[in-house]
Structure 1
Amino acid sequence: MIIINVINQVDQNIILYIFNHLRTPILDDIMTFFSSIGDYFSIWIIICILLMISKKYRTVGFIVAMVLLTNTIIGELILKNAIGRVRPYDALNLDIVIKQLSSYSMPSGHALSSFSVAFVVLYLVKQWKIYVPVLILAIAITLSRVYLSVHYPTDVLLSVLIAFIVSTVAIKIGKKKGLINGKY
């Protein structure tokens, strides 16, 4: 229990430092933008559809869809409710620039969906013009959630870890079933 208290204290200190020392109106706007394009997994669903439409990347699109669906079930339906972690802005009584949320904090759905797509694309797509922007977008969306005080750093770290594990398992299954044969 002591380690959880230490982790929680470090998380709170990071949130308070960002809130008190790094917040600016310009950064608020930038981070709100990145956070909003991750709402409801919208950007990732669009990317998934674009991948599935493309004959070359159709398999990647289907793997992305499987990982997104799996991680939504694991993160949003199971872990968020099982863990029940209060959001930083509520725990620390902070005013935020985006709409308050009714769900719990851990794991971060934005980070989970962002890195679900990023890890699959990073692993399966050999074109840097595709995987680099996807990775940068995933990082920006994920960081925006901590900046906006809606997630603790450990919320997003757990989300990235889950995304990595599920993406790796999905890719291994895809290879074993003969659906994936190298990079696209």
Structure 2
Amino acid sequence: MEIQILNAIQNIHTSWLDACMIGITKLGNHGLIWFGLTLVLLINPKTRKIGIMCTLALIIDLIGCNLVLKHFFARPRPYMVNPNVHLLIPEVGDHSSFPSGHTAMAFTIASVFYLNKFKGWQIIGIFAILIAFSRLYLYVHFPTDVLAGILIGIGCGILGVKIYQSKRQTN
């Protein structure tokens, strides 16, 4: 069923959309955009609080998603299951599809922003959705990988905020 969903998404490809989805997914590569945004937030005294929350949430996400779950499940990526698909990006190096790390990181930051009603949370939320969709569009994740990434990201965002709040209350 998941391959059928991915194959259906392949029917909406256009050169313009291909370029957009490649660009969007590249912004999420290695979490650089999220680490960069977090660094900017940490540097500015007015946004340091949310920067700390993002840092905590990203650390939880990295450990849980990339170091534990990906290795535990070691699920092949869709293009490995269906080698007939034409990839628009190079094969992903880790070859572990579950869960989507790009999606988890995006929703981690979006959750922290939303929970704090931080200015621009809507834009970050839309961008997180676009990153999630790009992973399906580019045939590098199954829908359940992306769904798991969304849920993990939201959970990591909540945990990061809760840890920060609990440390602030004890001090």
RMSD: 1.3
> 1:48-91: CA deviations, max 9, x gaps?
01111221210110110111121111111111111111101111
Long gaps (5+) in structure 2:
none
Q: Which amino acid aligns with 2:150?
A: V
Separation (CA, whole Å) in 2 of partners of 1:60 and 1:88: 36
Q: Which amino acid aligns with 1:97?
A: L
Normalising by structure 1, we get a TM-score of: 0.86
Figure out how many residues of one structure are paired with residues of the other and give that number: 167
Separation (CA, whole Å) in 1 of partners of 2:48 and 2:64: 24
Query: Structure 1 residue 42 and structure 2 residue 20: aligned?
Result: no
Query: Structure 1 residue 14 and structure 2 residue 5: aligned?
Result: yes
Task: State the partner residue of 1:140.
Answer: 130
Correspondence 1:100-139 to 2 at 5 A: 100-103=91-94, 104-127=96-119, 130-139=120-129
Normalising by structure 2, we get a TM-score of: 0.92
Percentage of matched positions with identical amino acids: 31
Separation (CA, whole Å) in 2 of partners of 1:15 and 1:126: 34
Separation (CA, whole Å) in 1 of partners of 2:160 and 2:21: 31
Task: State the partner residue of 2:78.
Answer: 88
Q: Which amino acid aligns with 1:45?
A: F
Q: Which amino acid aligns with 2:110?
A: A
User: Mean Cα displacement is larger for which, 67-76 or 162-171?
Assistant: 162-171
Separation (CA, whole Å) in 1 of partners of 2:20 and 2:78: 20
Long gaps (5+) in structure 1:
1-9, 180-184
Separation (CA, whole Å) in 2 of partners of 1:35 and 1:170: 24
Task: State the partner residue of 1:79.
Answer: 69
Compute the displacement of 1:23 (Å): 1.4
